[in-house]
Amino acid sequence: MTKAFPSAILTLFCFIGFSQSYSQPSTHEIALSFFDPLPAVMPGAEQDSSALINLGKKLYFETALSINHSQSCNSCHNLNNNAAGVDHLKTSIGALGSSGKRNAPTIWNAGLHVAQFWDGRAKTLSQQAKFPIFNVKEMAMTSESQLIERLNTKGYLADFRRGFPKQTSPINLEHIAQALAAFQRTLISKDRFDDYLAGDKDAISQSEKAGLRVFIEKGCVACHNGSVLGGQLFMKMGIVNPYPNKRDKGKAHVTGNAADNYFFKVPSLRNILNTAPYFHDGAAATIEQAIEDTGWHQLGIKLSKEEVHAIKVFFNTLNNQKDKIKPDNN
């Protein structure tokens, strides 16, 4: 676990103290103590050439990466027409018709997270990119050689040579993963909350500011802070009141340590209104349910309907306004 949780709690206590004193900080000042604007460039992007990014984008929409040519990365993390990078299913359905174990998280801003997957089993985007290709419940490819043959047959050699100009045999799994990661590093969302953090205090409405204060005062900000409002630590699902799903033990499946039972990466809240259903198992069908359940299981409080609505109103400021992404014509 990172130090984000205790430091956020300390700041929250300071805020509560201020709120009880005669000198109350502004909502904007409080927000700046918890949140950062999204960066213009993701870490690692300085090494990404336009040729590598273009190759990664092409591969992201490429169905030849699945055993029966039925799916691409975009199937579960949809980006078409400025989509939210999800498939809106509780758990995704793989190329062979099997349902996955967990809800597919959004690909937007993923490279800004502390790790990839709900259980953190991949530390980087390039590591993450390899898992779905050979997972029998996802794309179900059987070998790297099969993958290389597919891409050679589809005429990818020239694209890989542009992306990896110093390599004599550029098509391989590692390069596929690197190219996919390069494209994903371009997926930084844009929203009004960042405009507000940057100093445009009229970028969000008074009702949205009121919702932000409820979000902070109720303690949601202890885990959902930083530039992506989450994504920086692992937290037990059901830390106060037990979560009903006891089948999925989260990070413990990776570490083998019982102390990690039911720990999952805290999800980002950027563009959250457009990524339903919610939680690692997709159990919350609506944002209202997700807010209520989080308050109960994680904070031990029952939020009123007015508080739930206020937080939802604040979430409107996090809607992604980035230009539409379309697949290249292959």
What are the catalytic residues?
Answer: 138
Burial class (CB in 10 A: 0-12, 13-18, 19+), 252: middle
Instruction: State the distance between the two ends of the chain, measured CA to CA, in whole angstroms.
Output: 43
Residue type for position 312 = K
How far apart, in whole angstroms, are the C-alpha atoms of residue 143 and residue 69?
15
**Contact between 109 and 191 (Cβ < 8 Å):** no
Which is nearest to 59 in space by CA: 183, 210, 166? 183
Give the contacts of 21 (CB within 8 A, at least 6 positions apart): none
Burial class (CB in 10 A: 0-12, 13-18, 19+), 330: exposed
Q: DSSP assignment, residue 239?
A: S
Secondary structure element (H or E) that encloses residue 193, with its range: helix 192-197
How far apart, in whole angstroms, are the C-alpha atoms of residue 73 and residue 58?
10
Other C-beta atoms lying within 10 Å of the C-beta of residue 66: 22
Which is nearest to 309 in space by CA: 180, 208, 226? 208
Which is nearest to 113 in space by CA: 283, 227, 14? 227
